[in-house]
A and B are shown apart, each in its own frame.
Chain A
Amino acid sequence: MSRFSKTTHHAVYRWWSRMVAMTGKELRQLSRDYLLVGAVLFLFTLDVMMAGGVKMDLNMATMMVHDADHSQASRELIYRFQPPYFKFGGEILNQKEGIELLDQGKALVVLDIPPRFQHDLIQGKPTSVQLQVDTGNTVLGTLAASYGGQIIGRYGFDIALQRMNITDAGLASVPMLADSHRVWYNPNQKDAWFMPISELLTIITVLAMMLPAAAAVREKERGTIEQLLVSPLTPTQIMLPKVVAMTLVILLGTALSLGLILRGVFDVPMKGSIPLFFAVTALYTFAMSGLGLFISTVSRNLAQATMLIIMVMMPIILLSGAWTPPEAMPPGIRQAMYLSPLYYYIEMAYGILLKGAGLKLLWDSLLGLTLIGSAVFGFGVWRFRRQFS
């Protein structure tokens, strides 16, 4: 072996050995910070689970009825408002009472059935019912109106068929749409898939910034950075192990969350390639750690770093589509979304976990994440190195 390659070999060994030692140190230190470990565990498990508790579907909405007819037909209609969407809350005597209940939030919908409702139906006269919907919460209001409309529409349709004496068998000779709906990726439309995944991705984002920033700031806070700076370690050798160690921790937490909560509790199908998901997560974590490192350079202590991370988080989430798909965003914001690394990550995460998409479909998002991520990471590294000179 020539002298040159021997020294090169030696240098590589040293570099590697230092990296391993420093990475081990970071992991060890983190494992002894019970508060932080507790927080990480809480976020990856209970917090994700709690997010699953947020159901945005209509659930047992209270319906009050002003039934001025009190007939067989009106009872039949009222009876069709059933759980899980609706629950019959009782009868009221007049419209005013209905408004009061809606004002008080004690009812979400009020159904008003006019007098002579049954009589008109039998006579074949057109009649109408009124549904008053509290749209103070638009999600619930929209759904209540939509479901209520479907119920009443179905009721009228059944009456019409009855009147025309068309039996179920006779339907085959009526020209009409036989519509069927297939919901993909989440056939039972469980909210419990969307919210926990969204929460997990947000948590990964927070921790990818928080953990390296905490590790770097702590060295400053406790003065240990001094000892490292006089050692032969380069700034890169000080910084990179933090990123690597924290990425490992986040991947571990993600695995825990995926296995224990998403699969274990919510039965998320995980259609795509899990290794691909982890690879993408690792890439994303690396990118975001750049922001964490940057924050560590401008804060004197952990409290400051945490405050700054909270501030940085806001626009990142806004522009990510974590809660709202891009097509629902106003046009200006939709363009700005291309700047948020979380946007690409969310695209890929949903793509892989729920839709079974692979690289063939996701390459553009991957490219986007790689570009934005490199820029962010590069910026963080540059600032981190610069603070020492």
Chain B
Amino acid sequence: MGQTALVGDTQPVLVTPEPVVTVRDICKRYRKQIAVEGVDLTIQPGEIYGLIGPDGAGKSSLMKAIAGVLTFDRGQLEVFGERIDSEAAAERVKGRIGFMPQGLGLNLYAELSVEENIDFFAALREVPPELLAERKHKLLTMTRLENFLDRPMKQLSGGMKQKLGLICTLIHEPKLVILDEPTTGVDPVSRRDFWAILADLLRERGITALVSTAYMDEAARFHRLSLIYAGRVLAEGEPDQIRQQAPGSLIEIKVEPQIEALRRLKVKFPQTEAVGAVIRVFVAVASTEQATEQVKAVLDGLAIDDIHGIETELEDAFVALLRQRHLADEQAAANPQIPVTTAAPTPIGGEIAIEAAGLSREFGDFRAVDNVSFKVMSGEIFGLLGANGAGKTTVIKMLTGILPPSGGSGQVAGANMHSASQAIKERIGYVSQAFSLYQDMTVLENIRLYARIYAVPRKQINQRTEWVIEMAGLAGVENRLAGKLSMGIRQRLALGCALVHRPQVLFLDEPTSGVDPIGRRRFWDILMQMARVEKVAILVTTHNMGEAEHCDHLALMHAGQIITDATPEQMKLSLQRDAGELLEIVTDQPLMALQIVEQAGFEGAALFGQRIHLLAKDPEQAGRQIAALLAQKQITLLGIHPRIPSIEDVFVYRIMAREQEARSR
């Protein structure tokens, strides 16, 4: 075990031409199920290599094989130049590898304290006591866990567990870290934090990293990456290169009536989705002008408010690539039309479908929800945003009548939550974050069960079942066990079951976590349809910021309170008003540049892959200042552009501001 001693210092790593990991045509199957099929990839020293793909794509199997903890059936694997073809060979490289398996803190020991966890991993890896003390101090300070040394792991928040996992994986200073979905289930603030710490550590110690994620928007964090789907690599390279593999333009349109426009566009452009009040269309031509013309032609006769091109994202490329290879969920393409119930029940409560008035809830001394008020109209999609533990779920629990509030009142679907919780339960639908239907029952059995639980009249059960199957695109899988379906189809089934009794109000608690992009789009198509056509009021909680963009109205929750409550556009505008424009800086030495920018005192500077994002009140002046600073240090400035902030930017800014305020008080 000489390796640990080798990397005690902080010298930059000498980049050798020899790759750290070489994977050639690897295949892995579990009994009959294929997990990985013919994957090739090479990881160079010092890079952060990403594996992006939905749940079940084969990322975990691949990473476990590289970590030497899983056998594979075919192909070649070299790690640190060692051919991994036996348990003995795998043992030879394990000293230089740190592996963190999937699942938030699952590999940690729940009963042990933070420090005991770290000490155990260090002892396993035989880290000498002096080195351990030094590393522990450094890592704990970086991750700001130093005040929680004695807290049992099971009482940490998701983000803290993640960081502790990282410390434990890095305590022996491996040359290669393999992190399997480290950010899944972690809120955006903690996620940014996590990436920043990881980037710092890796840079400082010259560690190579292989990281997987299900979030497409994290692609920018990687130097290079592979898009994985169904055990194969769809595309490989730098994030921009991958985007260019599926050239196209993204057109954003505001048009009335939205539903009709959606219907028409979907026929011609399968990658069409409604995002709140606008529609986004991916057109597979590189020229924005041509694309705009094509879209306009389809929308002939409708009132177009606004139409412009925006930059494509990796997710668009991913979906386009899937389509090119005919891997996309064929149901989604073949059935763009969602059946409409002819006679939608008239809402009882008039326009306001959900109303929370000063809701509060205490658990002992802890105030989980603090004076929360908002309104949701019928036909509106209302998003409740917030980190884990912000109080979102408690609000939903109170509104759905499971949890009595400590204070305040509420109306749901025309019924008072104090006096008529049973009536509320009959009138609402609910989709939870984890799939909460019966995995050991078939699709049809699940639908019928919920139809009967909600006392759908016997004569209508068949009709409603058929409607659900058609609406959720479940034809062909009716008799499959729910547990055997992909996440996307499962969540559509959950949605179908929630809608089987035609509720006027629909609650969704983080409904699409773990669902692949196509599945998510399909899911939101249905939600949009339900809201616009059936006038269902939809309350959705999420910490997925991409999803938040789809909502008509957002409320941002933090520590039990609603911080802001507005439409997505308003939120972005107010961010620009309060904090300034979002600038994206591209340089040839992003790490150095980031340091310089941070020292110059720019707010919220963060690294996204090779680019730096920051907020500036006066963008022009900031641009000049940065250009000058970089020139001074002989860093080439490749570009500096204003960007429209995302909801994630809003979220992170608002939460950080809140936390700062709390700290200064």
Contact = CB atoms under 8 A, between A and B. Distances in A.
Complex A–B touching at CB under 8 A: yes
Interface of A: 14, 17-18, 20-22, 24-25, 28-29, 32-33, 222-233, 388-389
B602 interface: no
B440 A29 contact: yes
Contacts of B523: none
B423 to A, nearest CB: 9
Contacts of A14: 455
Contacts of A233: 453
Contacts of A22: 449, 453
A229 B428 CA distance: 12
Interface in B334-375: none
B585 to A, nearest CB: 44
A272 B422 CA distance: 48
Nearest to B428: A230
Given A25-B449, A230-B507, 4 more contacts: A17-B455, A28-B440, A32-B440, A33-B440
Interface string B545-588: 00000000000000000000000000000000000000000000
B434 interface: yes
Contact of B422 (A17, A227, A232): A232
B425 A25 contact: no
A27 to B, nearest CB: 11
Interface string B444-456: 0100111011110
B430 interface: yes
Contact of A232 (B404, B453, B481): B453
Contacts of A32: 440-441, 481
26 contacts: A14-B455, A17-B455, A17-B458, A21-B449, A21-B453, A22-B449, A22-B453, A24-B449, A25-B445, A25-B449, A29-B441, A32-B441, A32-B481, A33-B440, A223-B432, A224-B437, A224-B438, A226-B432, A227-B430, A227-B437, A230-B402, A230-B430, A231-B425, A231-B450, A232-B454, A233-B453
B436 interface: yes
Nearest to B452: A21
Nearest to B445: A28
Interface of B: 400-402, 404, 422, 425-426, 428, 430, 432, 434-441, 445, 448-450, 452-455, 458, 481, 497, 507
Nearest to B439: A222
A18 B452 contact: yes
A224 B455 contact: no
4 A-B pairs closest in CB distance: A21-B452, A230-B430, A227-B436, A32-B440
A21 B449 CA distance: 6
Contacts of A229: 402
Contacts of A222: 434, 436, 439
Interface centre among B437, B453, B481, B497 (most CB of A within 10 A): B453
A164 B453 CA distance: 90
B264 to A, nearest CB: 36
B422 A388 contact: no
B507 A18 contact: no
B402 A388 contact: yes
Given A18-B452, A18-B453, A223 B441 contact: no
Contacts of A225: 436
A263 B28 CA distance: 52
B436 A224 contact: yes
A67 B481 CA distance: 75
Contact of A17 (B402, B438, B452, B497): B452
A168 B312 CA distance: 114
Contacts of A232: 422, 425-426, 453-455
Contacts of B497: 227
B342 to A, nearest CB: 25
A33 B425 CA distance: 30
Contacts of B425: 230-232
